[in-house]
């Protein structure tokens, strides 16, 4: 096990390049099974979730090779429609494989997916949509069994704009017989990226980024050489780090449109934000004012994956903030760790009232999930004294070389073995 040792109170200056988006890369791994041709995904971040997805593909019989930051997938010899439970329970995104496996093999067998413990995250939307495409589904002993003849296009209406369900439907319907019309689709930039990836393979998908996506089934897909979009959540994390610590930082690689509401909230905190092309520059004196209210919503609303970091920011600001988490019911598990640092947070149901405590103090902290772990790092960077953050396995799921990027900005942070 490893931990971060963080000395708080250092201002951050300089620039940081954002990696490819975790939430874009993982569905592309799943999509690579749809073709027997070679697929190259460029600029894959060195995160554990990507390594887990690569291992899943290998278990299916695919050849997966890493060449620097590029991943080359050859699924010509893929033969298995089963994913070992040890991998599905480690990674939530393994659920994307249902649509891909059904398209490729006409059947799939996976254990219920795992990942961070931030709520129930049921996959009923996924399964109901697959049934409408003609898939028969049975569940037994913690496993999901799916089987179909030819997937047939259908009109599908999602009760909630689930990102995972939207992506799974795209993967299942891309080679279906006829046309699938998906209404109530998720609008996240990662959905648009998956559409672009599939179309580069020869698919006929349109409408991503809007409420309705149209998927005209094709008979076959080819290879592709593709670079995913950059990670808006990583960008937001480093912008908030500078806001908390004070300083001036430029985050490079992300469109301001993809994190527009966060930038509005940072201005509300008292930061100066400048945007140009794919560069976002933040100036902060470290004396922040609390946001009055932050409420997580599907895109283009405030991202649930930035909620914990925003809470950490408000803990050291002046005033009070109400944080409302609408997507995952147990996403406040990190709060007791912030309270060790002197944070004044009162949680009731899906709401958290944060009373700005001024500067927090250092403490020994334990990461319990990916974004909660990032929030603890941000709080420690702005705190008085030295903190340690243990169990970096969660943070490693979504952030490549976090300590290196923060050190480049002037943070006092090092990674050591426990």
Distance CA 374, CA 396 (A): 10
- How many secondary structure helices (H) and strands (E) does the chain include? 13, 23
Q: Cβ–Cβ contacts within 10 Å for residue 220, how many?
A: 11
Whether the Cβ atoms of residue 296 and residue 324 lie closer than 8 Å to each other: yes
300 upstream amide cis, omega within 30 of 0: yes
For the record, the structure tokens of 102 come out as 């059904």
| DSSP state, residue 369 | S
Among the options 116, 245, 271, 290, which is catalytic?
116
Whether the Cβ atoms of residue 353 and residue 291 lie closer than 8 Å to each other: no
Q: Mention every residue, 6+ apart, whose C-beta is less than 8 A from residue 264.
A: none
User: In angstroms, how far is the first alpha carbon of the chain from the final one?
Assistant: 6
Helix 307-315 vs helix 260-269: crossing angle, to nearest 10: 0
| DSSP state, residue 112 | P
**Annotation says 116 is catalytic:** yes
Long-range contacts of 53-57 (CB under 8 A, 24+ apart): 53/25, 53/26, 53/29, 53/91, 53/93, 53/94, 54/29, 55/87, 56/29, 56/83, 56/87, 56/88, 56/91, 56/94, 56/97, 57/29, 57/32, 57/33
- Catalytic residue list: 116
């Amino acid at each position: 096990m490893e931990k971060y040792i963080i000395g708080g109170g250092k201002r951050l200056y300089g620039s940081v390049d954002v990696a490819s988006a975790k939430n874009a890369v993982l569905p592309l791994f799943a999509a690579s099974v749809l073709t027997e041709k070679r697929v190259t995904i460029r600029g894959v971040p060195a995160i554990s979730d990507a390594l887990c997805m690569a291992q899943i593909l290998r278990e299916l019989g695919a050849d997966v090779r890493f060449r620097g930051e590029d991943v080359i997938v050859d699924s010509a010899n893929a033969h298995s429609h089963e994913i070992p439970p040890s991998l599905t329970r480690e990674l939530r995104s393994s659920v994307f494989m249902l649509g891909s496996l059904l398209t490729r093999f006409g059947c799939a067998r996976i254990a219920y997916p795992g990942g961070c413990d931030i709520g129930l995250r049921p996959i009923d939307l996924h399964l109901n949509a697959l049934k409408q495409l003609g898939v028969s589904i049975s569940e037994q002993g913690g496993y999901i069994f799916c089987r179909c003849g030819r997937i047939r296009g259908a009109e599908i209406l999602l009760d909630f704009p689930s990102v995972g369900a939207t992506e799974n439907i795209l993967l299942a319907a891309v080679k279906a017989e006829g046309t699938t019309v998906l209404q109530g689709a998720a609008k996240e930039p990662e959905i648009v990226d998956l559409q672009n990836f599939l179309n580069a393979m020869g698919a006929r998908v349109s409408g991503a980024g809007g409420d309705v996506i149209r998927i005209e089934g094709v008979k076959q897909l080819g290879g592709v050489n593709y670079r995913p979009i950059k990670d808006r959540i990583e960008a937001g994390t480093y912008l908030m780090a500078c806001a908390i610590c004070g300083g001036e930082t430029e985050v490079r690689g992300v469109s301001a449109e993809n994190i527009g509401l966060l930038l509005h909230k940072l201005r509300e905190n008292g930061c100066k934000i400048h945007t140009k092309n794919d560069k976002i520059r933040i100036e902060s004196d470290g004396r922040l004012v609390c946001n009055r209210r932050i409420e997580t919503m599907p895109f283009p609303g405030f991202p649930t994956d930035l909620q914990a970091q925003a809470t950490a920011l408000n803990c050291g600001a002046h005033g009070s903030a109400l944080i409302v988490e609408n997507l995952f019911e147990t996403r406040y598990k990190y709060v007791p760790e912030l309270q060790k640092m002197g944070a004044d947070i009162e949680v009731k149901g899906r709401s958290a009232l944060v009373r700005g405590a001024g500067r927090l103090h250092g403490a020994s902290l334990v990461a319990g999930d990916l974004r909660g772990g990032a929030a603890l790092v941000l709080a420690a960077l702005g705190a008085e004294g030295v903190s340690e953050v243990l169990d970096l396995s969660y943070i490693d799921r979504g952030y490549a070389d976090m300590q290196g990027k923060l050190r480049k900005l002037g943070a006092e942070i090092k990674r050591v073995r426990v």
